[in-house]
Amino acid sequence: MRLFDLTGRTALVTGSSMGIGFALSRGLASAGARLVLNARNGGRLEEAAGRLREAGAQVATLAFDVTDADAVRAAVDGYEAGNGPIDILVNNAGMQHRRPLEEFPVETFDRLMRTNVNSAFYVGQAVARHMIARGAGKIINIASVQSALARPGIAPYTTSKGAIANLTKGMATDWARHGLNCNAIAPGYFDTPLNAALVADPEFSAWLEKRTPAGRWGQVEELVGACVFLASDAASFVNGHTLFVDGGITASL
């Protein structure tokens, strides 16, 4: 299984102090990768790093705001200069806000776009500049079933995740010739802090179980295999692809 071995490679995961980002970090470490965790909250970040270190992972932390282009560039360039290459990037940082579109606050729309879309561009570009110089690198963006579908009350989120899917295609189109693999994972409905209100809603959970062919919520550990695959040599000719991990929800009417 050497194709999936990430030993000796370093993975930066944004928004990795909890939820999907933490689970993917733990999974990458289990495949042998060194980790660089990122979040804005330094205390929460160090707590997450401590839990992973206790499990045997090699972990560094970078506390920076992914919506601040200058801070992103300084953090990435500084890490590369002082610690060596970032071989794998997982653009996971994101937010959600539920509100009817006609009532959606403009400032919240702008913040959501900065968090979900701008950040993937800022961090992706900062890391890719180093990867291009080396002729190798893996970028994995976290999209969503909302890249292909929509539900009431989350039109801006749907907009942002559609943009992530197309940004992924653009990254591959520009950067594949430099040796980079740029792909996305589109999770379905997973039991995460971002979805806590929905998980706690019996009516929504009942609807979801009927709507999803697998008949249940996803568990974050079920995203790990897709992430390790896309981060590894096994995906050497996979580029610009969005891999849906959704229990079949996008395959079924």
Residues 6+ apart with CB under 8 A from 19: 192, 193, 194, 220
Q: What is the 3-state secondary structure (H, E, C) of the chain?
A: CHHHCCCCCEEEECCCCCHHHHHHHHHHHHCCCEEEEECCCHHHHHHHHHHHHHCCCCEEEECCCCCCHHHHHHHHHHHHHHHCCCCEEEECCCCCCCCCHHHCCHHHHHHHHHHHHHHHHHHHHHHHHHHHHHCCEEEEEECCHHHCCCCCCCHHHHHHHHHHHHHHHHHHHHHHHHCEEEEEEEECCECCHHHHHHHCCHHHHHHHHHHCCCCCCECHHHHHHHHHHHHCHHHCCCCCCEEEECCCHHHCC
Our answer to whether residue 79 is catalytic in this structure is no
Among residues 79, 122, 157, 189, which one is catalytic?
Answer: 157
* Residues taking part in catalysis: 157
